[in-house]
Structure 1
């Protein structure tokens, strides 16, 4: 008996995905555990394994297809001994026929209204015609009246193709009627704009957004529009931490572990959160969620966008374990192989751009978390050491806090504790 292979839900929030690549073809035999396809979710590209044994009779959804709903049949698996050529694609279920209504006495019918005439797609808003700069220029050259055209672009906007397909004749539109570029329509929603103005005459190409990039755009827009951010910055002396790191790496050579500065900063943030639990929270409308464990989401850049694998209970595990986990998670993140439980959740985040030479930046909070730490580059700076002006390795760290959940004084206390832990780093070994 044939089996329908359906689009799986590869994460708790997944409603649809992109069938990025088939790893099998029609006629291939598969068994439980064999890799069948790569599916792009809203967070990562994940491999989909076969559950049953059989032969791929039909592939119903081509690779590269977007917006495939969870539960949609994507292939048919023929069972043992079943004729593959006889397997048919599933037919769409017919909608149940509505029961015929009982006949009731008829009321006098009103005179039939005159049928409405279909309206052409409007190209103008008020006295202003919506058209791209390139379309305007071509219309002026050809003598095409823009107000007589129906635009095929977003929101009825006239584009190049509309003008080129129009008949010539009439008086060229005067340049004075052209709206300046600054008056171009502004998208009503930054998360999913209906249309975005750009100059089509500039050489360009369009790149389709991945599901991950769409999710980043939606979540960051949500964060900046709905979360009142407060930013607190401290300068942190790194010399003691760098010296301890060198000593620890020498002792860990035999175990194949090499600590990074970021590994130690992850630990420092986690310990600081455990000491200042008022910052280890989530704002939930009419209540505050207080976490008793610090799970640190670490920003990792991948070819398809930013993702944040999580170091669980980072305050209570060793630096070597943090380093080993982070290397493995970062590697699999860049390959798009993270499991949902490895990037979903977290109580606070850290984003380090020091390796790019960035001195300081303000990071956007990763909802539903209430804080993220932005770390800049360590650099030699004039610094007061033991009440005397000297030169020290200093980095700037900025905490972004959700002001609905975290008061400024509590955020300041967290930054103070973080600074103290980094400048006296033996506390990270306790």
Structure 2
């Protein structure tokens, strides 16, 4: 019997993806564990493995296809000893039979048509007691936006309401029945959809947006629109930290470990969050979640866009372990080889642009996290040392805080703790 290979859900929030590349073709024999395709989710490109054994009878969805719904059939697999050409045709025949039976049953149960002059009734939205097919994510988004989910039409498999259906809906009650649109609403409904931006008549190249870039654009827009950011900046002297880094690298040379300044900053931020737990939080519409462990999401730039691999439990790890783990995560992030659990979650984020010479910047919070630390370049500046003007290596660090979850005084306490640990770095190693 032919086996339908369906679009997998490669992450808990995945609703659809791009079938980036087929690694097999029709006629190929596959066994469990063989790589079949590369699928681009909203965060990374991941490999899809075969579960069953057999021969690829048909590639249903060609590579490069966008917006393939989770659960959609993407290929047909002929079982052992089964004719591939017969398997290719079987699913289509099988799908038609229930449809024909359903049509006959509907014809028997259909009410007599209304007289010609009477307007056809418009189906009312499902009552609140009826079961509405919707994904958990769609339900949560609907609750947050104040959208009546029973009034929506689902575009997912079997009419299931998915995230995209909720995002395109307006908050409020169910829409009015057909024929009862108010005069005030009519112009808005009749208005033509917004046209795309006009591209100037200048030689240019158009690049298709990846799923990662689309997700970055959507999430950052939502963050700036919905999260009240508060920004706090401190100047931090780096000389003691740079000396400690040099000493540690000499002792770690035999182990092949070379610490970066960023490795020590990750450790300092994690330790600061444990010292000031009011900043190690997540905001939800009806509760505040406080974490007892500091998982630091570290921004990494990749060819397809920004991604934030996570150093889990950074407060309990030594700087050598953080350095080794960070190098591995960053390398696999650039190759789109991260697992979902390696970039989803985190209690706070770190973005370091010091290597580009950026003096100071304000980073956008990654919801539902409560804060992100932005690190600028270390540079020689005039600095007061022991009540005397001197020259020191100084960097500016700016914390962006979700003011719904973190008060300004608590954010200031975190910045103070972070500054103290960087300027007296032996404290973070204790």
> What TM-score do you get using the length of structure 1 for normalisation?
0.78
Equivalent position of 1:257 in the other structure: 257
Equivalent position of 1:85 in the other structure: 85
- Whether 1:281 and 2:274 are equivalent positions in the alignment is no
Q: Indicate which of 99, 108, 127 corresponds to 1:100.
A: 108
Equivalent position of 2:176 in the other structure: none
Change beyond 3 A, Cα 1:108–1:215: closer
More helix per residue: 2
Equivalent position of 1:240 in the other structure: 240
- Whether 1:110 and 2:108 are equivalent positions in the alignment is no
- Whether 1:420 and 2:420 are equivalent positions in the alignment is yes
Change beyond 3 A, Cα 1:86–1:231: same
CA distance in 1, matches of 2:29, 2:375: 51
**Mapping of residues 147-166 of structure 1, within 5 Å:** none
**Mapping of residues 126-205 of structure 1, within 5 Å:** 194-205=194-205
Change beyond 3 A, Cα 1:399–1:55: same
Question: Is the radius of gyration larger for structure 1 or structure 2?
Answer: 1
CA distance in 1, matches of 2:365, 2:319: 25
Change beyond 3 A, Cα 1:344–1:390: same
Q: RMSD of the TM alignment (CA)?
A: 1.9
CA distance in 2, matches of 1:307, 1:256: 27
Change beyond 3 A, Cα 1:421–1:81: same
In the TM superposition, what whole-angstrom CA distance separates every residue of 1:57-82 from its partner, at most 9, and x where no partner exists?
A: 21111110101111111111122222
Structure 1 residue 108, shift from structure 2 partner: 6.5
The 3-state SS of whatever aligns with 2:390 is strand
In the TM superposition, what whole-angstrom CA distance separates every residue of 1:386-411 from its partner, at most 9, and x where no partner exists?
A: 11111111000000000011100000
Equivalent position of 1:159 in the other structure: none
Structure 1 residue 103, shift from structure 2 partner: 6.6
Equivalent position of 2:2 in the other structure: 2
Equivalent position of 2:36 in the other structure: 36
Structure 1 residue 111, shift from structure 2 partner: 8.6
Structure 1 residue 32, shift from structure 2 partner: 1.2
The 3-state SS of whatever aligns with 2:108 is coil
**Mapping of residues 248-327 of structure 1, within 5 Å:** 248-327=248-327
Change beyond 3 A, Cα 1:108–1:194: closer
The aligned length equals 350
The 3-state SS of whatever aligns with 1:87 is helix
CA distance in 2, matches of 1:82, 1:194: 52
The 3-state SS of whatever aligns with 2:328 is helix
Equivalent position of 1:358 in the other structure: 358
Structure 1 residue 358, shift from structure 2 partner: 0.4
Equivalent position of 2:60 in the other structure: 60
- Whether 1:408 and 2:401 are equivalent positions in the alignment is no
Structure 1 unaligned regions, length at least 5: 114-192
> What TM-score do you get using the length of structure 2 for normalisation?
0.78
CA distance in 1, matches of 2:219, 2:56: 38
Change beyond 3 A, Cα 1:111–1:241: closer
The 3-state SS of whatever aligns with 1:234 is strand
The 3-state SS of whatever aligns with 1:100 is helix
CA distance in 1, matches of 2:119, 2:200: 48
In the TM superposition, what whole-angstrom CA distance separates every residue of 1:24-75 from its partner, at most 9, and x where no partner exists?
A: 1112111111111100001000001111112212111111010111111111
CA distance in 1, matches of 2:362, 2:119: 64
Structure 1 residue 109, shift from structure 2 partner: 5.0
CA distance in 1, matches of 2:223, 2:117: 54
Equivalent position of 1:74 in the other structure: 74
CA distance in 2, matches of 1:110, 1:34: 62
In the TM superposition, what whole-angstrom CA distance separates every residue of 1:226-270 from its partner, at most 9, and x where no partner exists?
A: 000000000010110010001111111111111110010000000
Structure 1 residue 383, shift from structure 2 partner: 0.6
**Mapping of residues 392-407 of structure 1, within 5 Å:** 392-407=392-407
